[in-house]
Amino acid sequence: MALMTLLKAVSNKDKVVLVDFYAEWCNPCKMLSPILEKLTEDSSVKTGSGKPLDLVTVDTDSEVELAQQFQIRSLPTVIAFKDGKPVSQFMGAMPEPSVRNFLQTL
């Protein structure tokens, strides 16, 4: 996924887009990914602003330049984009209630 492809994916005005920077070998990533997938696939889960969610995943091992452009230093890192701009982020695996709380801040 090139930068332009990612920017196009996050420029959706109707949704908040979560970008999950992960790696296959990362155990915390393996814990967080199913939570993100569950929450973004559940249409009843909304952000604090009432916008629905979308999820984009970026494998940092195959997308090294993309990870560098977003200054990813720790995995997993999730960056939330609203109207094409990064508005918030968190690093590390979090339990589902904490991820839900994060979504309420968006």
Active site residue 38: no
Catalytic residue check, 29? yes
Asked if 27 and 63 touch (Cβ cutoff 8 Å), the reply is no
**Annotated catalytic residue within 10, 19, 29, 36:** 29
Q: Which residues pair with 58 in a beta bridge?
A: 21
Give the active site residue among 26, 36, 53, 66.
Answer: 26
CA torsion 100-58-56-97 (nearest 10°) is -10
Active site residues: 26, 29
